[in-house]
Amino acid sequence: MSSVNTPALETQRLRLRRFDSNDINALLAIFGDRKTNTYLPMFPLETLAQARVFFEQKYEKAYQSPVGYRYAVCLKSDNIPIGYVHVGMEDSHDLGYGLRCEYWHRGIMTEAAGAVLRQLQEDGFPYVTATHDINNPYSGAVMKKLGMRYRYSYEEQWQPKNIKVIFRMYQLNLDGREDWVYRKYWEQAKVRFVESGIA
């Protein structure tokens, strides 16, 4: 993998870039959106002060690493973040994304995440995983549109909300090993199974 941290990307409608200190209001709008937050492990941000601390802890520090992918998703028309795409640097290479609810169902997240996946493949990542709460099928639809394949489901005690969630795990192998499966979630879970009829 090359030494990069969140290289700027563009699509037909979007600009993907780093969050910066001018984006505190936008971060509050994204991570304070209660509808969007329903399927996030964290509680919604409530104040600008919380948003500033969140930026410092989750973004400013991460951008100091040699490699990372923590994107603000912006419309080209105003360059204001309306969502995010992250890829974890742990061995799961977990793809995560979120979007303010007023921008749902426009193909924005598929467009944004697709650009990030192309960058990951160019940078030599072998695979990416992604998980979604079974109660959030729209997130799973994005994964399918990105070419990810369902592998298995498992139960996790999600923190800090401290609730049990059944996740579906999807995977996209970028190195051509079509049948290789990331199994750590499966191995760690006490409750795990493969659902029939899930593409």
pLDDT digits (tens, 9 = 90+) for 41-63: 899 999 999 999 999 999 999 99
Residue 4 has a pLDDT of 81
Structural domain spans, the chain: 9-193
- Rounded CA separation 132/74 (Å): 23
- Rounded CA separation 112/64 (Å): 23
CATH number of the domain at 9-193, out of 3.30.1240.10, 3.40.50.1980, 3.40.50.300, 3.40.630.30? 3.40.630.30
pLDDT digits (tens, 9 = 90+) for 148-159: 999 999 999 999
Q: Which residue matches tokens 């924005």?
A: 108
Average of per-residue pLDDT across 181-198 = 96
Q: Is the pLDDT of residue 1 over 70?
A: no
Average of per-residue pLDDT across 106-112 = 97
Q: Is the pLDDT of residue 2 over 60?
A: no
pLDDT digits (tens, 9 = 90+) for 65-93: 999 999 999 999 999 999 999 999 999 99
Please name the residue ranges forming H helices in the chain. Answer: 24-31, 34-37, 48-55, 108-122, 137-145, 184-188
Helix count (H) and strand count (E) of the chain?
6, 9
Amino acid residing at 186 = W
